[in-house]
C-alpha cells in the first residue's frame, strides 16, 4: 500500500500540474481570443480599405468623365450663341442677286470666306449641321416641327419645308432643324 504522505504529495503534484495546465489553457484561450479579435479587426479594416479604394476609383472615373464632358460640351453656350451668326450669313449669301454679286464681288467673297472659316471652326469643335431635305421623314430627335400642312403628293410626317438648319455638338443636340411637316393622311 502506498504511503499516505506519498499519496498527498502525488495529489499535490497532480493538482499543481492540473492548475498549471489550466493556466496554460486559459492563456492559450486568451491568446486565441485576442488573435480572433485581431483577425476580425484586420478583416474589417481590409473591407474598409477596399471600399475606400473603390470609392476613390469611382471618384476618379467621375472626374475623368466630367473633364471630358467639360472639354466637349463646355462651349455649348457660346456655340449656341454663334448659330444666329451662321443663319444671318447664310441668309445674306442666299439673298445676294447676280447683279449684287457682280457689283460687290469682293464683299460677297469676303462673306463667303468668313462663312467657310466659321464652318471650319464649327468642325474643329465638333459642331455638325443637321440639314434635312424636303421629302425626308420627320425625326423628333433632330427636327422641330414649326407647322403642319396638307400637301398633295406627300404623306403625314414628310418634311415639306426647311426653315432653319439644326446643329449637333458631338452627340448632343444644340438646336433642332426647324421644318414644316406634311399632315396629309395616307391614302
pTM over 0.75, yes/no: no
Please state which architecture CATH assigns to domain 126-187. Answer: Roll (2.30)
- What tens-digit pLDDT sequence spans the chain (187 residues)? 557 777 777 777 777 787 888 888 878 877 788 888 899 999 999 999 999 999 999 999 999 999 988 888 888 899 999 999 999 999 999 999 999 989 999 999 999 999 999 999 999 999 999 999 999 999 999 999 999 999 888 889 999 999 999 999 999 999 999 999 998 887 5
Domain ranges of the chain: 1-73, 76-125, 126-187
| 115's grid cell | 462663312
- The distance of Cα 131 from the centroid of its chain, to the nearest Å, equals 27
- The beta strand positions in the chain, using DSSP E, are 127-130, 143-149, 159-164, 166-169, 172-175, 177-182
Hey, what's the cell of 156? 403625314
Q: Are strands 127-130 and 166-169 parallel, antiparallel or unpaired?
A: antiparallel
Cα dihedral sign, 180-183-186-187: negative
- Of the candidates 161, 173, 89, the one whose C-alpha atom is nearest the C-alpha of residue 128 is 173
Neighbours of 169 (CB within 10 A): 19
Amino acid at each position: 500500500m502506498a504511503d499516505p504522505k506519498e499519496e498527498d504529495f502525488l495529489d499535490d503534484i497532480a493538482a499543481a500540474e492540473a492548475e498549471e495546465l489550466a493556466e496554460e489553457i486559459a492563456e492559450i484561450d486568451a491568446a486565441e481570443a485576442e488573435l480572433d479579435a485581431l483577425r476580425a479587426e484586420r478583416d474589417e479594416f481590409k473591407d474598409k480599405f477596399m471600399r475606400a479604394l473603390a470609392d476613390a476609383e469611382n471618384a476618379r472615373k467621375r472626374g475623368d468623365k466630367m473633364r471630358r464632358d467639360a472639354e466637349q460640351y463646355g462651349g455649348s453656350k457660346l456655340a449656341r450663341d454663334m448659330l444666329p451668326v451662321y443663319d444671318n450669313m447664310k441668309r445674306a449669301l442666299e439673298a445676294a442677286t447676280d447683279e449684287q454679286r457682280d457689283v460687290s464681288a469682293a464683299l460677297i467673297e469676303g462673306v463667303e470666306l468668313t462663312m467657310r472659316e466659321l464652318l471650319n471652326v464649327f468642325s474643329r469643335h465638333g459642331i455638325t449641321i443637321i440639314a434635312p431635305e424636303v421629302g425626308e421623314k420627320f425625326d423628333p430627335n433632330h427636327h422641330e416641327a414649326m407647322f403642319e400642312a396638307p400637301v398633295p403628293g406627300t404623306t403625314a410626317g414628310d418634311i415639306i419645308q426647311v426653315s432653319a438648319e439644326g446643329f449637333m455638338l458631338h452627340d448632343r443636340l444644340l438646336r433642332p432643324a426647324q421644318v414644316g411637316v406634311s399632315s396629309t393622311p395616307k391614302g
